[in-house]
Structure 1
Amino acid sequence: MATQPETTVLDLFRDAAGPGGWSDDPDRLAPKLTDWRGQKTGTSPLLLLPRDTETLARIVRIANETGTPLVPQGGNTGLVGAGVPEEDGRAVLVSMDRMNRIRALDATGFTVVAEAGVILETLHKAAEDADCMFPLSLGAKGSATVGGLISTNAGGVQVLRYGNMRAQVIGLEAVLPDGSILDQLTPLRKDNTGYDIKQLLIGAEGTLGFVTAASLRLMPAPREMATAFVALDDPHAALSLLARLKAATGDNLDSFELIPRHGIDLVLQHIPGARDPLSDVYPWYVLVEATSAMAGETQRQALETGLAAAFEDGLVRDAALAENRAQGLDFWRLREELPEAERLDGPSVKHDVSVPVSDMPRFMEEATRIIEADWPGTQVMAFGHLGDGNVHFNVKTSEPGPRTELMARRYEVSDQIYDIVVRYGGSISAEHGIGTSKAKTFARLGNPAKIAAMRAVKAALDPNGIMNPGKIFV
């Protein structure tokens, strides 16, 4: 039977964390024990808040010697339950809140060294102040942390041009399960000295160690930015428009986000100050943004010309181009606030999946038709990053009775969707990870050879199983 750590063991952790480095106050623990969606709540006897890497290393050594599980947590914005301890109360929660320094920023070499607890929005501001840009953004930028973004290999709205978080990491510092410190923080662009251990930690969801700091790549700050909100008939038209605009902008397209009309309606209903950029109502929209680091380039003109040609060909129904950055941010609010609007509207069954880009419209149509037919009273909310094949395929209902039944049978709904995803050669997790919510599905649908290799790596690096138990594997 699982038991909580003994008092003497908890005292060892308190001593290692030092003054201000721990809390067992239930009121302080409570917000960190429930995930952002409110669908998973765990328990923990102690919250640890290390101030530096050496302190964390001492904590991990104690955990390894005593067999005490540790659960790392960043901004607690994860959507698969990876940052929340289980209900058995065995695990000690370790928050990276106090490890929040930007250690160095090299505007000449376009690199920044940031600790795991640095909030993404803070990193954006530091880069902006140095006339640079950190090329990853998402709706939770005000609370998501560098460590969490690395541990989940987060994506966001700029993957189309810059790649996901893995592509931004040049070097890494981490505490491994035995308490040793991995120092690969030097921002070398080339290093072929054997296995690249840091790559194992990216996307590992804290199961192989604690990310403590990272050397990240920066890009030149954009000198020109063009943003458009475009109305279309269906996702097929959106896919055709994507190819056209990539060519029209010289492949300077940063973002291409697909949104259904009922998604816009949810944001307008629940988010104060949100506004519809177009006067008429259309079935689908894309939010498009192109940027250039060179002043004088005409991204706006290229975007306008590409959209005008698409309008003439009947591909585009209507469009609004932002006149300034403030208006562009208003457009972006409709996309970035959509997950929050969904949450405020009530529970839904959420899926973060990917399929080959060219198959995305066909997948969305087929999966929507099957789910809405097999689950009467439901409505699919499909939106996301069309440019990289990642769709947030969520299922909701507005009626209390059907909603209760839907949530009670949510795993049946999800299994049905994941089976369709796999049939299309897709992935059950595009950017949010596995955590606990997808662990059984991963065991059922994942490639057996891959899962066996992952288990072997886990056993080799964490033989005592102290790092974030219950996550990824069942």
Structure 2
Amino acid sequence: MPDTEVLGDHVAALGAIVGPKGLLTGTDMDAYLTDWRHRASGTAQAVLMPASTEEVSGVLRYCARHGVPVYVQGGNTSLCGGSVPGKTGGDILLSTRRLNAVREIDPVSNVAIVESGLVLGNLHQIAEANDRIFPMHLGAEGTAQIGGLISTNSGGVSAVRYGNMRNLVLGLEVVLPDGSVISRLNGLRKDNRGLDWKHLFIGGEGTLGIITAAALHLHPKMRSRADALVSVASPGAAVQVFNRMRDRFDTKLMACELVSGTEVSLTLEHVPGLRFPMAEMPDWMVLIELGDLEADNRLQVGLQDTLEALLEENVVEDAVLCQNLRESQELWKWRHSFSEANKKAGHGIVFDPSLRVKHVPDFIAHATEAALDMAPWMVPLTVCHLGDGNSHLIMMTLHEDMPPAEVMADLTHRMFERVHDIIADLDGSFSAEHGIGRKLVDEMVHRQPPAEIALMQAIKRAVDPDGLLSPGVLLASGQ
């Protein structure tokens, strides 16, 4: 057991660094010690909420000197258990929620310099006020923070046009495990002063340093848009729809999402106030969003013509073209409600693979068959970012069908093994945009080449030689 007197000394010293507004102890920490899906939990001496880079530096300098492990948490929307501390009782959890300042908005250079605790939805509003957009959109944008999105290299529905978070970061300010600060927040598009070290921390999940601020790439605001929902007979037909949209509209294609009728039905059941625009629920459907800088109706006309051709060719079974902004917003509202609905409905075993687009139909077919063979009571839900091949499969056990915890744990392990084998056979990745966290640490060790693991271990040892930042996240403890 940790020495309680020593722990008390650490908390008092750290509390002096962050001040009374930046320190939580006892039951005040509860909301920070469990992830939002209540899948992962831990314990901590205290939750610290520094309000400046200097305070983060002071915390890490103290913890390095005294050998105190530190975990970092943004909006706590992780899907892989990486945002909560361990279970030793001696850890510190550092929340970035008070690091939420907007340091600079430069619409001429299309640069936003913001602190890591800024909520994504707030950045959307700030960009809008400056006639710009920050093109990262996902279901948790009302709570997800910029630092967490960078640390997991999040994707979202607009990655087909703008790429993952890595493509949107121009520079970072980071506090290293020893408390030193490195910063390149000048917002330059070209900067060849040695190694581009920001990429170590994009996707690093808080294991190499704590991101305190970022220079982000803004984009011009779209002046026109066109959205549609189409029903298709199969994922193979959905790929045909995507190919036609990409070839016809190129960079004007903002999002192209394949979803299963099972996912949409479950969402309409569990999230009130949603409207579905078709009379019957298709087995498979594709959501399409186009955007253009020109303020005219050419996109709407072009999308209608393309859909009519696809209907005539029997690639598409039915189509609904949104007639105004309200209908477009309604369409994407239920798309962004999937995670909320799944949490309410039951327990999902979630797969987050990245595949070549041509392999998406094979993955959906083979993985669903394999999973149902192991657990026929489960409901397969599919949500696929068609533009980049990120095909989420959620094997859902409804609350009323939930087996004992030990049965579910064993089943999850065996299903991971089987489905990840299918992903490997298709030369894909078992992690696309959710990160590794604790959930996939064993998969990293098992499936990645030893040379890759050795390289990551060497970088970790070089930057964090005592292994004090987020131990057990991304890499197994002791690596």
TM-score by length of 1: 0.97
1:246-265 mapped onto 2 (5 Å cutoff): 246-265=246-265
More displaced stretch, 239-248 vs 141-150? 239-248
Aligned-partner residue type, residue 141 of structure 1: E
Aligned-partner residue type, residue 419 of structure 1: D
Give the whole-Å Cα distance in 1 for the aligned partners of 2:196 and 2:3: 37
Partner of 1:455: 457
| Alignment counterpart, residue 445 of structure 1, candidates 444, 447, 451 | 447
1:119-130 mapped onto 2 (5 Å cutoff): 119-130=119-130
Partner of 1:320: 320
Q: Could you report, residue by residue, the CA deviation over 1:183-227 in whole angstroms, capped at 9, with x for unpaired residues? A: 111101111111111110110000000000000000000000111
Aligned-partner residue type, residue 175 of structure 1: V
Residues 470 and 125 (structure 1 numbering): CA distance in 2 closer, same or farther, change over 3 Å? same
SS at match of 2:20: coil
1:6-21 mapped onto 2 (5 Å cutoff): 6-21=7-22
SS at match of 1:287: strand
2:118 corresponds to 1:118: yes
Residue pair 1:259, 1:284 contacting (<8 A) in 2 also: yes
Give the whole-Å Cα distance in 2 for the aligned partners of 1:36 and 1:408: 23
Taking only the aligned residue pairs, the percentage that are identical comes to 37
More displaced stretch, 71-80 vs 400-409? 400-409
Give the whole-Å Cα distance in 1 for the aligned partners of 2:250 and 2:356: 22
Give the whole-Å Cα distance in 1 for the aligned partners of 2:115 and 2:26: 26
Partner of 2:333: 333
Give the whole-Å Cα distance in 2 for the aligned partners of 1:363 and 1:160: 20
Partner of 1:101: 101
Partner of 2:227: 227
Partner of 1:381: 381
Residue pair 1:229, 1:287 contacting (<8 A) in 2 also: yes
CA-CA distance at 1:6 after TM superposition: 2.5
CA-CA distance at 1:101 after TM superposition: 0.7
More displaced stretch, 366-375 vs 229-238? 366-375
Residue pair 1:248, 1:303 contacting (<8 A) in 2 also: no
Q: What is the RMSD of the two structures over their aligned residues, measured on CA atoms?
A: 1.4
Gaps of 5+ in 2: none
CA-CA distance at 1:383 after TM superposition: 1.3
1:205-284 mapped onto 2 (5 Å cutoff): 205-284=205-284
Residue pair 1:322, 1:328 contacting (<8 A) in 2 also: yes
Give the whole-Å Cα distance in 2 for the aligned partners of 1:402 and 1:113: 46
Give the whole-Å Cα distance in 2 for the aligned partners of 1:265 and 1:218: 35
CA-CA distance at 1:244 after TM superposition: 0.5
SS at match of 2:208: coil
CA-CA distance at 1:280 after TM superposition: 2.3
CA-CA distance at 1:325 after TM superposition: 1.3
Give the whole-Å Cα distance in 2 for the aligned partners of 1:398 and 1:147: 33
Aligned-partner residue type, residue 289 of structure 1: E
Partner of 2:30: 30
Aligned-partner residue type, residue 152 of structure 2: T
SS at match of 1:397: strand
SS at match of 2:282: coil
Aligned-partner residue type, residue 358 of structure 1: K
Give the whole-Å Cα distance in 2 for the aligned partners of 1:74 and 1:250: 34
Give the whole-Å Cα distance in 2 for the aligned partners of 1:287 and 1:104: 35
2:438 corresponds to 1:436: yes
Aligned-partner residue type, residue 12 of structure 1: A
CA-CA distance at 1:281 after TM superposition: 2.7
SS at match of 1:100: coil
Give the whole-Å Cα distance in 2 for the aligned partners of 1:414 and 1:36: 22
Q: Could you report, residue by residue, the CA deviation over 1:314-363 in whole angstroms, capped at 9, with x for unpaired residues? A: 01111111111111111112211011111100112111111111101111
2:422 corresponds to 1:420: yes
Give the whole-Å Cα distance in 2 for the aligned partners of 1:435 and 1:12: 29
Structure 1: 4+ residue segments shifted above 4 A: 1-5
More displaced stretch, 391-400 vs 163-172? 391-400
Aligned-partner residue type, residue 194 of structure 1: G
Residue pair 1:3, 1:89 contacting (<8 A) in 2 also: no
Aligned-partner residue type, residue 458 of structure 1: K
Give the whole-Å Cα distance in 2 for the aligned partners of 1:400 and 1:250: 45
CA-CA distance at 1:412 after TM superposition: 1.3
SS at match of 1:47: strand
SS at match of 2:14: helix
Aligned-partner residue type, residue 444 of structure 2: F
Residues 385 and 341 (structure 1 numbering): CA distance in 2 closer, same or farther, change over 3 Å? same
Aligned-partner residue type, residue 435 of structure 1: G
Give the whole-Å Cα distance in 2 for the aligned partners of 1:105 and 1:399: 46
2:174 corresponds to 1:174: yes
Give the whole-Å Cα distance in 1 for the aligned partners of 2:444 and 2:239: 29
CA-CA distance at 1:403 after TM superposition: 4.1
Residue pair 1:3, 1:88 contacting (<8 A) in 2 also: no
Aligned-partner residue type, residue 368 of structure 1: T
Partner of 1:357: 357
2:165 corresponds to 1:165: yes
SS at match of 1:347: strand
CA-CA distance at 1:295 after TM superposition: 1.9
Give the whole-Å Cα distance in 1 for the aligned partners of 2:191 and 2:3: 44
Q: Could you report, residue by residue, the CA deviation over 1:367-400 in whole angstroms, capped at 9, with x for unpaired residues? A: 1112212322223212120111101111123374
Residue pair 1:150, 1:202 contacting (<8 A) in 2 also: yes
TM-score by length of 2: 0.96
Residue pair 2:311, 2:317 contacting (<8 A) in 1 also: yes
Q: Could you report, residue by residue, the CA deviation over 1:265-284 in whole angstroms, capped at 9, with x for unpaired residues? A: 11110010111111123210
Gaps of 5+ in 1: none
Residue pair 2:370, 2:418 contacting (<8 A) in 1 also: no
